[in-house]
């Protein structure tokens, strides 16, 4: 099948690029968390799954009980421990009685000496003033409540009101009188994590809703940088409450769904409730250095893919995410995303290629037409960059795109006028290819094509190749699993005049073009640049004259 890129021109502000390194001062790379290190040991067979699960729980509540090699280094902090606790609660029944008892003991509700009711009345905040879990004791208004706790109350109330009242998320089910009364319980805890949300008993609904409580760090001193004008500890506290409370709301829908979407949604919610903080920038490096990694990867990577939530919000508004979660009461996350998008007369297969396209326009490539904060996001490097043609390449490496992920292939212009990209993808994979044609003078043009998954093959053409700064093919794997899929492509730079696309310009091309221009022969598409011999983006009798002169009279070559 022949597909000629049909351009939708979008104005882009010209810019002078002098620096191409990330501008953000935040951590721009992934690293191994304690849980990741333990998971590696389990995968390698040096730890049993049972002991690995217990160790991960200990990494949150009792790190002194696990070998040093698995601990989080002193002075560093891991993101959210909800996934660890969620996993342990789901798996505990499969383990022996000793491990079950150890996990249950490790996950018991914290006990603190004091409590404070938040100003809005939504929360009861539990804290200590001495011992390992003591909070900072500064009390500027001398009312007997540490300022740290009062601030947590204000921050938490803002989360409740914005997430449930403004955005329409379901409120967490009540835990009855656990923690002292019916208010939602927040505990403060000295740990190497920002916080966590722990589910407890079933809620009242016919779906799998569960009550829960939250625990957050007891001071947030020494945490990674953020942009909060009130300081890093305040910013970390704000986004942790926004994040963990969103987990509590998620448990009002379904406590047993695909967990990557729990973290995607909660980390996105940090931007929604406390946009100024930008703590989640610290995790974006994991995504932009490995765009071939699935959105569904349940590791440290899960925090970086919050930008899919940002994309959905910018395109469809803030109601899109709770709408998806409504469907998650009865569907897994993958299906629920598609169902939620169906409410906006679109689908995952239509939107994911646009999402991976957006991801190319960050940092110095920010064109003002994609993410609102794209200039602050890291940029990604192409998987491959091609400079000479023809070139044939097979992608079978570990960087081949997993389901819900992409590769980016850059083609720098050649001397011939037309780029032909013949793509041969692994069969039975729902492939999508977006072509980005970037003009050196400013501007970008986009074309998207969805391939037949039964064969995964197609040929795409880009005219006026030498006039472009570059072309990027964004190869998206929209498959349902996290397995990588292989593909092969051949890129060739061709010239106008080869009207039948057989690799040569000869009398047969004259015959084909004459038939098209004068006899309405349907074998050639009207916008096919192979017949546009003067490169004016039209096929007219003048193109016939140019081609006849070149083939029979040694005239100038097409488009010279």
Closest by Cα among 490, 530, 474 to 388: 490
- Find all residues with CB under 8 Å of 66, minimum gap 6, and list them: 38, 55, 58, 59
Lowest-pLDDT choice from 172-181, 346-355, 524-533: 524-533
Is the predicted pLDDT of residue 377 greater than 70, yes or no?
yes
Fold classification of 2-20+367-494 is Jelly Rolls (2.60.120)
Q: What pLDDT shows up at residue 24?
A: 38
Provide the pLDDT confidence category of residue 528 given band limits of 50, 70 and 90: low
Q: What pLDDT shows up at residue 521?
A: 59
What average pLDDT does range 171-178 have in this prediction?
95
pLDDT in tens, 53-63: 999 999 999 99
Q: What pLDDT shows up at residue 95?
A: 94
Most confident of 92-96, 219-223, 477-481: 219-223
Whether 267 and 283 have beta carbons less than 8 Å apart is answered as yes
75 or 26: which leads in pLDDT: 75
pLDDT in tens, 412-454: 998 777 898 999 999 999 999 999 999 877 778 888 888 888 8
Helices (H), 62-212: 82-91, 97-106, 147-160
Q: What pLDDT shows up at residue 26?
A: 39
Give SS3 for 187. Answer: strand
Closest by Cα among 66, 83, 29, 325 to 194: 83
Burial of 168 per CB tally in 10 Å (0-12, 13-18, 19+): middle
Q: What pLDDT shows up at residue 520?
A: 67
- State in words which class domain 112-346 has: mainly alpha
6 upstream amide cis, omega within 30 of 0: no
Please check whether the two domains, 2-20+367-494 and 112-346, share a CATH topology: no
Residue 73 DSSP symbol: P
Is the predicted pLDDT of residue 27 greater than 70, yes or no?
no
Is the predicted pLDDT of residue 311 greater than 90, yes or no?
yes
pTM: predicted TM-score of the whole model, two decimal places: 0.87
Domain boundaries, the chain: 2-20+367-494, 112-346, 507-553
- Find all residues with CB under 8 Å of 432, minimum gap 6, and list them: 349, 352, 353, 448, 449, 450, 451, 475, 476, 478
Mean pLDDT of all residues belonging to the chain: 90
Q: What pLDDT shows up at residue 318?
A: 94
Query: Following DSSP, what letter does each residue of 55-67 receive, concatenated?
Result: HHHHHHH-GGGS-
Is the predicted pLDDT of residue 9 greater than 80, yes or no?
no
């Amino acid at each position: 099948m022949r597909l000629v890129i049909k351009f939708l021109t979008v104005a882009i502000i010209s810019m002078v690029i002098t620096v191409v390194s990330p501008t953000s001062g935040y951590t721009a790379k992934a690293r191994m968390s304690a849980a990741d290190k333990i998971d590696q040991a389990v995968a390698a067979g040096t730890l049993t799954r049972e002991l690995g699960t217990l160790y991960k729980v200990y990494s949150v509540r009792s790190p002194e009980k696990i070998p040093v090699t698995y601990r989080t280094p002193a002075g560093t902090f891991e993101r959210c421990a909800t996934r660890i606790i969620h996993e342990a609660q789901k798996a505990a029944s499969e383990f022996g009685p000793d491990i079950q008892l150890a996990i249950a003991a490790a996950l018991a509700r914290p006990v603190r000496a004091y409590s404070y009711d938040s100003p809005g009345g939504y929360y009861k905040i539990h804290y200590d003033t001495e011992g390992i879990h003591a909070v900072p004791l500064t009390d500027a208004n001398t009312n007997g409540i540490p300022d740290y706790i009062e601030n947590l109350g204000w921050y938490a109330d803002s989360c409740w009101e914005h997430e449930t009242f403004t955005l329409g998320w379901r409120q967490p089910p009540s835990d009855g009188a656990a923690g002292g009364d019916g208010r939602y319980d927040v505990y403060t805890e000295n740990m190497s994590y920002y916080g966590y949300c722990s589910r407890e008993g079933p809620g009242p609904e016919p779906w799998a809703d569960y009550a829960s409580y939250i625990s957050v760090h007891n001071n947030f001193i020494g945490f990674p940088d953020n942009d909060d004008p009130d300081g890093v500890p305040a910013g970390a506290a704000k986004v942790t409450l926004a994040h963990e409370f969103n987990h509590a709301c998620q448990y009002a829908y379904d406590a047993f769904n695909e967990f990557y979407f729990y973290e995607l949604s909660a980390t996105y919610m940090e931007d929604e409730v406390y946009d100024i903080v930008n703590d989640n920038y610290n995790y974006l490096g994991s995504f932009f250095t490995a765009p071939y990694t699935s959105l569904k990867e349940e590791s440290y990577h899960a925090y970086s893919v919050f930008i899919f939530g940002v994309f959905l919000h910018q395109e469809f508004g803030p109601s899109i995410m709770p709408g998806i979660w409504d469907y998650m009461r009865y569907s897994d996350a993958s299906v629920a995303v598609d169902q939620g998008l169906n409410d906006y007369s679109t689908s995952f297969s239509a939107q994911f290629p646009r999402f991976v396209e957006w991801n190319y326009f960050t940092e110095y490539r920010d064109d003002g037409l994609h993410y609102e904060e794209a200039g602050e996001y890291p940029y990604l490097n192409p998987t491959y960059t091609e400079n000479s043609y023809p070139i044939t390449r097979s992608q079978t490496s570990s960087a081949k795109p997993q389901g819900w992920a992409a590769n980016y292939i850059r083609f720098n212009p050649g001397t011939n006028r037309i780029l032909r990209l013949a793509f041969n993808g692994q069969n039975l994979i729902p492939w999508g290819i977006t072509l980005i044609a970037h003009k050196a003078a400013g501007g970008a043009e986009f074309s998207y094509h969805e391939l037949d998954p039964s064969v995964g093959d197609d040929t795409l053409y880009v005219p006026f190749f030498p006039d472009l700064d570059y072309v990027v093919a964004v190869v998206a794997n929209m498959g349902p699993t996290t397995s990588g899929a292989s593909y092969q492509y051949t890129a060739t730079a061709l010239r106008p005049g080869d009207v039948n696309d057989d690799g040569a310009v000869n009398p047969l091309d004259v015959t084909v073009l004459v038939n098209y221009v004068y006899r309405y022969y349907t074998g050639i598409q009207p916008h096919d640049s192979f017949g546009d011999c003067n490169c004016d983006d039209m096929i007219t009798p003048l193109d016939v004259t140019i081609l006849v002169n070149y083939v029979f009279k040694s005239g100038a070559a097409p488009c010279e």
